[in-house]
Amino acid sequence: MYVCVCNGVTDKQIIEAVDNGAVSLQDLREELKVATCCGRCANCAKKVLQEAHSRNHVYEVSVAMPAPAFA
């Protein structure tokens, strides 16, 4: 879905930016130009950013946690 119509930025592009290290709306502004024109997309962009971080955090924890040892 398009998040920033002014700059043609999609949620998939934001998720990819998060996967590549973006951690803030400012990072998205610098990399993708999100919320640099009219600004109406800022809240949606933040939501997508937070969801992508949550998804990545759950994945990182599940990968990092060793399997329980059964006796």
Q: Can you spell out the DSSP letters for 45-69?
A: HHHHHHHHHHHHHHHHHHHHSPPPP
pLDDT at residue number 56:
76
Domain ranges of the chain: 2-57
Note the CATH number of domain 2-57: 1.10.10.1100
How confident is the model over 18-62, as pLDDT tens digits?
Answer: 999 999 999 999 999 999 999 999 999 999 999 998 987 654 444
pLDDT at 5 over 90: yes
pLDDT at residue number 64:
53
- Report field, pTM of the whole predicted structure over 0.85: no
pLDDT at residue number 55:
86
- Beta carbons of 31 and 16 less than 8 angstroms apart: no
